[in-house]
Homo-oligomer: A and B are copies of this chain.
């Protein structure tokens, strides 16, 4: 059993859940967005469940949605992720802390310092989820009139990564001597001035902080596009995939790991973790009923906004209790429309049910008993659909408690998930090596 490949589990956390109906679920904490005590309790439960990492996504603007949907959304406002994860560093001991930070709307010196600081403070538990920030409204909050174009954003992200990792290597691991007798605090020969001057960035350095505990905080990405996959294969150590089916997952997995091999990286230097929405019941019927109850808490106004976006057509005048009518072609994403129409047909959903599903959460889901959920996870692991998952809990704290109390023990029983943390750092737990210092390779 001990030799079996191990699942890696992140927790894709929002204070109330990603599901927009979750704040109305019985026992939920509707005020968790601004209640640190609640979130601390969630982090400590995740740690009890031996999760690898607490992951926070981010938005640099209030989400752009019709006011009828906006006013019903608990996802509009919350803590800035880096602040929250730093506070959690002081309240946890083992779990990795992965914060999202944008390469388009921040400066590499700030990002390098903050993540290095978090890594020192947490004893080597920091991870940086690199995003280029897709939401065009963000630009308006950062001194621009329009969004930075896609290609420029990706080129900047690649350069930004080089600068940040270069800054982390400003000091050799053994630069700080602190010899009280001679009065020498550090060896200046072991300090490197980066002097980066590139296409978009000019950063002298050195960083004013010792090399992080992990060498570099763990590099995380979520891009599924062509340049996103390439950036991941070149630089990422964890990828949050958005595969909706096992077939999608296997294709994505083979593609990204194949790109790594071409670049000379070993396949296990990157862990692929698709987001998975997990609803646990003691029976299959109970789990499905929970999912339906949760979806029923999504107001049709919220659901119709999501449905309109997915279909690329205004769905607000559709008959809520009829099947989905025929949808004309538009220039919106064809994949999104096709997936949505297929979902409605496959499950025989009315417009209301479809809208509520989309308004809640419509990606990869495991809805079942601890056994069926573990079966599905094991299949993904064994068939190389993923190296684990980034779990989304349907409602909090109950959905998380159920996962930790019921699913985790089943995964442990099968020998595919740890019973104790393997190491002290996030890298050690994920089985990732500590990178060498590029300026002081000795």
Q: Which residues of A contact B (CB under 8 A)?
A: 23-24, 30-31, 33-34, 36, 40, 59-62, 67, 70-74, 76-80, 82-84, 86-91, 105-107, 109-110, 113-114, 116-118, 120-123, 137, 140-145, 171, 176, 178, 180, 183-188, 191, 201-210, 297, 299
CB distance from A96 to the nearest CB of B (A): 15
* Chain B positions within 8 Å of A79 at CB level: 117, 120-121, 209
* Chain B positions within 8 Å of A67 at CB level: 188
Cα distance, A109 to B80, chains bound together (Å):
11
- Choose among B87, B105, B180, B208 the residue that contacts A24 (Cβ–Cβ < 8 A): B180
Contacting pair A87 B121 (CB below 8 A): yes
Known: A89-B90, A142-B107, A208-B76. A71 touches B184 (CB 8 A): yes
Chain B residue with Cβ nearest A186: B71
Chain B residue with Cβ nearest A113: B80
27 examples of A-B residue contacts, CB within 8 angstroms:
A23-B185, A31-B178, A34-B210, A40-B90, A60-B208, A61-B208, A70-B188, A71-B187, A71-B188, A72-B185, A76-B208, A77-B171, A78-B208, A79-B209, A80-B209, A83-B117, A83-B121, A84-B86, A87-B89, A87-B122, A90-B90, A90-B91, A91-B91, A109-B141, A140-B202, A142-B203, A183-B297
- Choose among B31, B83, B187 the residue that contacts A114 (Cβ–Cβ < 8 A): B83
* Chain B positions within 8 Å of A70 at CB level: 188
* Chain B positions within 8 Å of A120 at CB level: 34, 36, 79
* Chain B positions within 8 Å of A117 at CB level: 79-80, 83-84
Contacting pair A180 B30 (CB below 8 A): yes
Cα distance, A208 to B113, chains bound together (Å):
24
Chain B residue with Cβ nearest A206: B62
Contacting pair B201 A143 (CB below 8 A): yes
Q: How many copies does the complex hold?
A: 2
- Choose among B34, B123, B137, B143 the residue that contacts A202 (Cβ–Cβ < 8 A): B143
Contacting pair B183 A299 (CB below 8 A): yes
* Chain B positions within 8 Å of A106 at CB level: 107, 110
Contacting pair B72 A183 (CB below 8 A): yes
* Chain B positions within 8 Å of A142 at CB level: 107, 109, 203
Cα distance, A316 to B421, chains bound together (Å):
55
Cα distance, A24 to B76, chains bound together (Å):
50
Contacting pair A23 B208 (CB below 8 A): no
Contacting pair A208 B143 (CB below 8 A): no
Cα distance, A143 to B107, chains bound together (Å):
9
**From A91, A141, A208, residue with most partner B Cβ within 10 Å:** A141
CB distance from A162 to the nearest CB of B (A): 15
Smallest CB-CB A-B distances: 9 pairs: A90-B90, A86-B86, A83-B117, A140-B204, A90-B91, A30-B178, A87-B90, A80-B117, A80-B113
